[in-house]
Structure 1
Amino acid sequence: MDRRTFLKKSCGGMVVVSCPGLNMTEKNKKIRFGLITDLHFARKEKWETRYYEQSKQKLQDAITVFNDEKVDFLIELGDLKDQGTPPDKVQTLSFLDEIENTLQTFNGPVYHVLGNHDMDSISKQDYLAHTRSWNDAKGKTYYSFVRDKFKFIVLDGNFNEDSSDYNCGNFQWTKAMIPDDQKMWLQKELENSKYPVIIFVHQLLDAFSGISRDVCILNADEIVQILERSKNVIAVFQGHHHYGHYSFKDGIHYFTMKGMIEGSLPENNSFAVVEIDEDANIYLDGYFKCEDKIMRKS
């Protein structure tokens, strides 16, 4: 049994092979990327189900798979690091530096999405100065990039109701907003796209699905209307809600990734290889607690 099959775990920790239909042929394979979220890395004792220090080893295991699979890029959906007790800026930045250095052992482009805990003890500017998103994404909290005739858009929902930035812990995590200037930018990005679009965001947008509004962006309904009007968005990938979630509305899949922080090694981890074929069908090959999922273009 090879390493990939050994690591490919789901369904309560049983060892399984990939589900039929998830192994795409070279002819049909279009683009593949590694997906992780909510590592909350910190050098501190566990709290309830969160094993902060173990996130580094979990990330290393995920990157081994991503490098072996030769995925095109890696994206993390926010809450990359946490903070100590009591909070200390210098210490928090050391956590960020340590986990970022591990993240950069991936053999390809790395992209970041800002999560609310990424601004615990530090500012957005501090975070950007200590992370290395690929190419034109560097130094930006929201941005877009194109690969293999697909457009990827990263959103930043870490704004207060008055449109000020989340900053050094001065925010209420249940009150996240996407401000007007970013909404206008999003509309233009969608209008100008000649390719199918995938959205990445930390907090959830599918408030319509019955999920708690506390984990959703306050103006999520407005953002969803923008996505639906464009007619070219095929999926939204989200973090934040560690238990995972899925919904579908008006041709758009909303997939919430389970948090890597949850549970202890060796049986607990969560990451995925996502494959999108030339017809914009999405095949999510999940590892450990992340289930496999096929999301077809409607």
Structure 2
Amino acid sequence: MVGASTVNVGLLTDLHYDGSAAALNRLYGAVATLNAGGAKTLVVMGDLVNGNSEHHAKRLLREVSALCDAFKGTTYFMHGNHDLDHLTKAEFYNTLGCAGNASRFDFEAGGYRFICIDCNFTPEGEAYGIGNFEWERCAVPAEELDWLRGRMAASLNPVIILSHQRIDQPSRFSVQNVDEVRKTLSLAEKVTAVVQGHNHVDDLVRLDQTSYYTLSAHVDDAGPAMLELTPKGVRLIRDFQPPEKE
């Protein structure tokens, strides 16, 4: 039973929105579901669109933004690798009406500090943009790891990390410096949970006293996920459905 002190945060990942009626209806339904479930915050965790050109990608992003405008709370957008096939990171945020937004950011919700990291860099530290990358070669650069350490150290609350790519264990869907990233999180001793996408599977790995949740893809008909935040802990509900009204 959701208590009065519960704060709900909705999560969507890997929309791969293509402008079709099916994609529009799927996203419209997900936003309506999160509204009905009382979510106060929505984070869209990357791979919003499947564009085939700069113009096409921007048009699709504007449609996604318009659909997400129906969400009654605060919406945050993270980019994935697909979003940068034809755009820079700045163009991604500009098109969504979020000009000047940083590709890494943090916010407070329900007594937790959410830190959204950007793994869309080559192992050499070059930012992804306009297809200058191979999606299997990604990493969190040293400068961002320093930023991450600082944000975790400054937090008086437990931390939840959101990442498009996997940062739990080596795989073709993970950052190449996964061991360094995980060690950074472990040493902070504040990270309650990590939520990640990109892999299009549901998965749960428990490492270093931290739960690493991988969410399946919205494009594959996965429903929105809901994080229920309470003073006692965090509960992740996959394929969330609001309770029926009596």
> Into which bin does the TM-score normalised by the smaller protein fall?
over 0.9
Deviations 1:265-293 (A, max 9, x none): xxx332122102102x22222327x9xxx
Measure the CA separation in 2 of the matches of 1:138 and 1:282.
31
With over 3 angstroms needed to count, the CA separation of the structure-2 counterparts of 1:138 and 1:286, relative to structure 1, is farther
**Amino acid across the alignment from 1:241:** N
Aligned to 2:41: 73
Aligned to 2:244: none
Deviations 1:192-220 (A, max 9, x none): 11100000000001116xxxx11001111
Deviations 1:84-122 (A, max 9, x none): 3xxx21111101111111112101100112210010111
**Amino acid across the alignment from 2:226:** V
* Partner of residue 69 from structure 2, selected from 99, 104, 123: 104
* Partner of residue 120 from structure 1, selected from 85, 89, 97: 85
* Partner of residue 110 from structure 2, selected from 143, 148, 157: 148
**Amino acid across the alignment from 2:61:** L
Measure the CA separation in 2 of the matches of 1:206 and 1:273.
21
| 1:261 alignment partner, SS class | helix
What TM-score does the superposition give when structure 2 sets the normalisation length? 0.92
1:38 aligns with 2:11: no
Contact 2:57 2:83 in 1 (8 A): no
With over 3 angstroms needed to count, the CA separation of the structure-2 counterparts of 1:204 and 1:40, relative to structure 1, is same
Aligned to 1:246: 204
Identity of aligned residues (%): 27
| 2:93 alignment partner, SS class | helix
CA radius of gyration, larger in: 1
Contact 2:110 2:229 in 1 (8 A): no
**Amino acid across the alignment from 1:120:** D
1:233 aligns with 2:191: yes
* Partner of residue 285 from structure 1, selected from 227, 231, 237: 237
With over 3 angstroms needed to count, the CA separation of the structure-2 counterparts of 1:145 and 1:33, relative to structure 1, is same
Q: Which moved more, 1:184-193 or 1:123-132?
A: 123-132
Q: Cα distance, 1:149 vs. partner? A: 2.2
1:24 aligns with 2:2: yes
Measure the CA separation in 2 of the matches of 1:127 and 1:99.
12
Measure the CA separation in 2 of the matches of 1:24 and 1:90.
44
Unaligned runs of 5+ in 1: 1-22, 44-51, 263-267, 291-298
Measure the CA separation in 1 of the matches of 2:109 and 2:2.
18
Measure the CA separation in 2 of the matches of 1:70 and 1:180.
38
**Amino acid across the alignment from 1:66:** L
| 1:91 alignment partner, SS class | helix
- Write out aligned runs for 1:53-72 (5 A): 54-72=22-40
| 1:214 alignment partner, SS class | coil
Count of aligned pairs: 241
Contact 2:122 2:139 in 1 (8 A): yes
Measure the CA separation in 2 of the matches of 1:142 and 1:97.
21
**Amino acid across the alignment from 1:144:** D
**Amino acid across the alignment from 1:231:** E
- Write out aligned runs for 1:212-227 (5 A): 213-227=171-185
Q: Cα distance, 1:71 vs. partner? A: 1.1
| 2:33 alignment partner, SS class | helix
Q: Cα distance, 1:138 vs. partner? A: 5.7
Deviations 1:122-173 (A, max 9, x none): 111110101246xxx9611001112232101000000012211111111000
Measure the CA separation in 2 of the matches of 1:156 and 1:214.
17
Aligned to 1:274: 227
